[in-house]
Structure 1
Amino acid sequence: MKKILILIAAVVITSCSNNLENLNQNIKDPSAVPGESLFTGAQKNLVDQMVDLNVNNNNTKLWAQFLQETTYTDESNYDQVGRNIPGTHWSVLYKDVLKDLDEAGTVIAATTYPLASDAVVVPNKLQVIEILKVYTYSILVETFGDVPYTEALDIDNLLPKYDDGLTVYKDLISRLTAAINALDTTKGSFGTADNIYGGDVTSWKKFAASLKLRMGILLSDVDNAFAKSTVESAVSAGVFTSNADNANFKYLSADPNTHPVHANLVLSGRHDFVAAETIVDMMNTLNDPRRALYFLEVSGGGYVGGGIGATSNYSSHSHVAAQVEAAEAPGVILDYAEVEFLLSEARARTFAVGGTAKSHYDAGITASIENWGGTAADATTYLAMPSVDYTTLSGTKTWKEIIGNQKWLALYNRGFEAWTSIRLLDFPVMKTPADALSGYPNKYTYPVVEQTLNGANYASAASAIGTDTAEQKLFWDKN
């Protein structure tokens, strides 16, 4: 009898223990995050960082001199340190994008999907993740130069070494080529979890090829033979052919899922930015049909830009047009107009991509005008002007200036891409800010946290690229 009572007591104690443990479980929240959710979050974090205007996160629209600050002009004067902008860029891309994409791939690869229709698209999902990882790393290299790469995503290594920028960039192109070849366009991928292409694999393949084109062009002045083969193989794989191919992230009408510029300019209730004189003056001179699509006229009529680096009264200068600050404006990370200008550059460099420098230049301008809401007739009239016509301009200007100026105009509101194009082609020439803290920024300086916590590797990287200063040109910026 005594043994029976002991046994019953043991069962009761065990049962109570299990019940108490169950009470501590949160049955409403999943115990693990699906890989698809990680992908969706990483994709949004990536695009947010690329298109943002918040001076704490992204100053490149100021450095490309599309916009000018009204009152607080530090960032227009090239201050990178006051708000730790490089540190934010570094942290978002490594922690909130690359690490989450990496984890998304790990989870998806390890998941057993009960439906055959879900299982069959796993390989494509992994390649889409790979493409976005390549894109993200390419932005880091284009921004900083040498960066952590081979040791970057190891959570057990808090002091990763920095890898040579050119070596990393070429490896990224190899990874991109493999991803392009591995995509199966007869099957889907992420579906509605993908807010750029809705899981359409054909579109992702075009995006990857167009990204490869862009990356190949960037290496033209440092390794022309490699750049040529990269560009030509990218075009063979199939790049963008119309505005329907544009990589546009889809934002929503309500906070916190609106376009970041809407949050910066509308939801904030602040009047911190106006049009910059650099872009407005050029568009006024050219009588550019996109002026009314980019900006608003001032109360007395006409378009007026604020002086670079100087305080600019909000009511006296042009503001961005309604479509630029709309909640559901697309978050663009690559578009057809840019691809056509890249092809124009390729032909000017005598790469075998078909067409002529002029034909692709014309197509780029037309695509930009139409994508912003202009008409084909607007483009035809504009292209016929001597100040725009490629053939007329080629008699007095270099191809870098001709293409560089119009490519920059087409990249309006895309700060990072415009900044990179300015550094590569050296056109258009940026105005010197009123109180510049440095020469024109050719790179982000490395984050302060890297200097203090990863000092030895930071010092090695800074020495390898030359100096860790804003004016230091990166390996691909040779002219």
Structure 2
Amino acid sequence: MKKIFLSIVTLTFLSLSSCVSDNEDFNDDGKKSYDVPAESLLSNAQKELSDQLTTPSVNNNPLRYYVQYWAATLYPAESRYNLTTRLIPDTHWTKLYQDVLGNLKTSEEVLKAQTKPDATSASDWQKQQQNKVAILEVLRVYTYQILVDTFGDVPYSESLQNPTIVLPKYDNGEEIYTKLIARIDAAIAQLDATGASFDTGDLIYKGDVAKWKLFANTVKLKLAINIADLNPALAKTTAESAYNSGLLLTNANNALLTYASFAPNYNPIFDNLVASQRNDNVPANTLVNRMNAMSDPRRPIFFTPMEDGTYVGGIPGGRNSLPYESTYSHVGDVIKNPSAPGVLIEAFETNFYLAEAAARNFVVGNTVEHYYTQAITLSCNYWGVSPEETAAYLANPQVAYATAATTPLTGFPGTGTGTWQEKIGYQEWIALYNRSFQAWTAYRRLDFPILISNASSVPASDKKVPVRYTYPTVEQTVNGANWSAASDAIGGNLLTTKIFWDVK
């Protein structure tokens, strides 16, 4: 099996512009091994996925600015939603299609070409291979959801089919979601905890099929919650089915990819802030001030204190004053640890989804208040907050579910009505501090927290926080007809065009 993982865009571009030779061995390097084990391909896919979701690089992922976790100092362009200077959508697209989905597809092809070892029984071999393929499928569903949640309509049914299809059409985002729910159901049915899976190569669960099943059901719940405003009937049946099948509900089952403490496999945050000697990103005052107002015990972990023990954030989208080294708090040392894990799903996140489900009267075993409280508790536990500090925080009237958001904190925007969307929205936003993509999705779904865009934001944003990425520039150049049709179908290739599920 040759190691070929080129994105649909890259493949198209190469097919149109690469040099050509009549020699059939023209592209073979006789000195390089091209045989890659399925396990290595899985590892590569998992790491690329984690890297893209974790990195704070302005070339790859500026979403910490969008949800106002961080503020820039020296270079504010990306914090003002300039996506095009560094071709950020192109990078995100290529990373997910080529480096994640491409590796997963090739891994499955390698698996299907394998023959059973003599020492393994036919039934054990069948279970093992079935589990391996199902794990790859669960990760594919997870990745396609990210693509839809980023861009809207995207290549799906014709994606990753070069050379058969080099200019893939874009599928309707809502239809993709429906198909993803069917695909995750099929994958869950194939996961058999009585059988083995990957002995090596699985950087997340080390081949633990039971944990992958919890993860898969939680991906299913995540799909359901996103469409709850648009299609409550489908969301209800999907969420209840996921709940009844078993979810990722404890920190022991979090989907984590632990990085190494050394180059080149350390955490991308360490890479961008410490190894690169960049100290010019600071926590945003939107988050810092709100956490200050509630005496949130996670502040010493998320941020560094000033000399007087307080926490100070910069203005989102602003060119924050110098000297920035001593004027503001900075990103906390735990967050910058080189071996800190990347995260795909956490238990607190699942509990917030269940809180939303309960608020919508889905049958998920408990009340919205129970899951809300459990989510905050799990987040505090994960970051090492003591049980006493956690209990005190939950007793704060601005945090306790019964009273939270009924009267907005002084100086903070809020409705004062104490809706479940507002209560969950603010606390989920805080808990997702190190998970910027998922925080952006929650913000768009719940419409909380209330985020005020900087007046210097690019005109294309209409002075609002963007609700999608524009399509990659290369798609317009190479796949123009399909790009144009998709842009028209979603209502315009704009930062302000909402993803199909964002209906409120």
- TM-score, L = length of structure 2: 0.88
**Per-residue displacement from partner, 1:415-438 (whole Å, max 9, x unpaired)?**
100000000000001122241111
Counterpart of 1:372, as a letter, is: W
Aligned with residue 98 of structure 1, among 98, 101, 121: 101
2:120 paired with 1:116: yes
Counterpart for residue 355 of structure 1: 366
Normalized per residue, the structure richer in helix is 1
2:159 paired with 1:152: yes
Counterpart for residue 414 of structure 2: none
> Map of 1:274-313 to 2, 5 A cutoff?
274-312=282-320, 313=324
Aligned with residue 371 of structure 1, among 369, 379, 382: 382
Shift of 1:31: 4.5
Asked if 2 retains the 8 angstrom alpha-carbon contact of 1:63 and 1:419, the reply is yes
Aligned with residue 408 of structure 1, among 408, 422, 429: 429
Higher mean displacement: 442-451 or 295-304: 295-304
> Map of 1:241-390 to 2, 5 A cutoff?
241-312=249-320, 313-390=324-401
2:498 paired with 1:458: no
Counterpart of 1:140, as a letter, is: L
**Secondary structure at the residue paired with 2:403?**
helix
Distance 1:74 1:190 in 2: 43
Counterpart for residue 209 of structure 1: 217
Asked if 2 retains the 8 angstrom alpha-carbon contact of 1:112 and 1:119, the reply is no
Distance 1:344 1:314 in 2: 39
Aligned with residue 88 of structure 2, among 60, 85, 88: 85
Counterpart for residue 63 of structure 2: 60
Counterpart for residue 10 of structure 1: none
Q: Compute the RMSD of aligned alpha carbons.
A: 1.4
Counterpart for residue 468 of structure 1: 493
Asked if 1 retains the 8 angstrom alpha-carbon contact of 2:65 and 2:317, the reply is no
Runs of 4+ in 1 over 2 A off after TM superposition: 117-120, 393-396
Distance 2:74 2:37 in 1: 45
Distance 1:374 1:132 in 2: 31
Distance 1:31 1:371 in 2: 41
Counterpart of 1:228, as a letter, is: K
Distance 1:314 1:105 in 2: 48
Asked if 2 retains the 8 angstrom alpha-carbon contact of 1:149 and 1:168, the reply is yes
Shift of 1:30: 3.8
**Secondary structure at the residue paired with 2:288?**
helix
2:97 paired with 1:72: no
Distance 1:394 1:353 in 2: 24
Counterpart for residue 8 of structure 1: none
Count of aligned positions: 454
**Secondary structure at the residue paired with 1:170?**
helix
Asked if 2 retains the 8 angstrom alpha-carbon contact of 1:148 and 1:162, the reply is yes
2:175 paired with 1:167: yes
**Secondary structure at the residue paired with 1:403?**
helix
Shift of 1:333: 1.2
**Per-residue displacement from partner, 1:275-327 (whole Å, max 9, x unpaired)?**
11111011001110110111110233300000111122232111111110001
Counterpart for residue 208 of structure 2: 200
Counterpart of 1:238, as a letter, is: G
2:503 paired with 1:478: yes
Asked if 1 retains the 8 angstrom alpha-carbon contact of 2:379 and 2:431, the reply is yes
Aligned with residue 176 of structure 1, among 177, 184, 208: 184
Counterpart for residue 450 of structure 2: 429
Counterpart of 1:116, as a letter, is: T
Shift of 1:186: 1.2
Distance 2:35 2:495 in 1: 42
Distance 1:71 1:179 in 2: 47
- TM-score, L = length of structure 1: 0.93
Shift of 1:181: 1.1
Distance 2:455 2:42 in 1: 43
Asked if 1 retains the 8 angstrom alpha-carbon contact of 2:39 and 2:200, the reply is no
Counterpart of 1:477, as a letter, is: D
Distance 2:125 2:36 in 1: 18
Shift of 1:113: 4.0
Counterpart for residue 131 of structure 1: 138
Counterpart for residue 404 of structure 2: 393
Distance 1:385 1:61 in 2: 27
Counterpart of 1:167, as a letter, is: E
**Secondary structure at the residue paired with 1:137?**
helix
Distance 1:266 1:104 in 2: 34
**Per-residue displacement from partner, 1:188-226 (whole Å, max 9, x unpaired)?**
211331111111111100001011111100000110100
Counterpart for residue 187 of structure 1: 195
Asked if 2 retains the 8 angstrom alpha-carbon contact of 1:70 and 1:271, the reply is no
Counterpart for residue 13 of structure 1: none
Distance 2:77 2:33 in 1: 45
Distance 1:192 1:314 in 2: 43
Distance 1:90 1:351 in 2: 34
Distance 2:178 2:116 in 1: 35
Asked if 1 retains the 8 angstrom alpha-carbon contact of 2:93 and 2:147, the reply is yes
Aligned with residue 150 of structure 2, among 130, 138, 143: 143
**Per-residue displacement from partner, 1:77-117 (whole Å, max 9, x unpaired)?**
11111111000000010011101100100111111142428
Identity of aligned residues (%): 46
Asked if 2 retains the 8 angstrom alpha-carbon contact of 1:127 and 1:183, the reply is yes
Distance 2:102 2:359 in 1: 39
**Secondary structure at the residue paired with 1:274?**
strand
Distance 2:305 2:216 in 1: 38
Higher mean displacement: 187-196 or 272-281: 187-196
Distance 2:181 2:298 in 1: 34
Asked if 2 retains the 8 angstrom alpha-carbon contact of 1:401 and 1:428, the reply is yes
